[in-house]
Amino acid sequence: MANDISKFKDGNILYFTPFFFTDAKSDPKPKYFLILKHIGDRVILSSLPTSKDAVPNSITKQHGCLDDKKINFNCYYFSPDVEVCTNGFKFPKETYVYGFRLQEFDVDTLLFQQANNKTTINLIGTLTEGEYFAICQCLKNSYSVKNKYRRVL
């Protein structure tokens, strides 16, 4: 189990096969999981990046922070053409991290699912220092992110 917890570091991208959603309304499915920050010892602030495009047409998509305070829209856009991890990993599709969708996850719960063969957790890579800083700044400066999460970032 000690090796498994080492995957849960700030800036890591994990891949869950499948991921069990906390709302229990969605069926489990394979998902990327981006660790942004630890909150205490066992809780992490994370995002489930998505390929669902909810960017308004008025915003030009360019790799990085997409923010429009007038309409309270914020997301970080990963272009499939840009390497984002130290190992050269690029998301295979256009991928988005929406500020309002940040969540807290309990590491013990995630490891329990893995230990009971309900999921497999693979380390995909670690964001480059510049990419990690950029996404944290993007979300930290967004009004669509809860204040308690903005303080953590």
Q: Report the predicted TM-score, pTM, of the whole model to 2 decimal places.
A: 0.91
Determine the pLDDT at residue 3: 45
Sign of CA dihedral 136, 140, 142, 145: positive
Ordered mean pLDDT values, 10 residues apiece, the chain (153 residues): 72 93 81 91 87 95 95 95 98 96 89 86 96 96 91 90
Exposure class string for 23-52: b at 16+ Cβ within 10 A, else e: eeeeeeeebbbbbbbeeeeeebbbbbbbee
The total number of structural domains that make up the chain: 1
Q: What is the pLDDT of residue 39?
A: 84
Q: What are phi and psi of 71, to 5 degrees?
A: -110, 10
φ, ψ dihedrals at 3, nearest 5°: -65, -35
CB atoms within 10 A of CB 113: 18
Q: Which domain holds residue 20?
A: 2-152
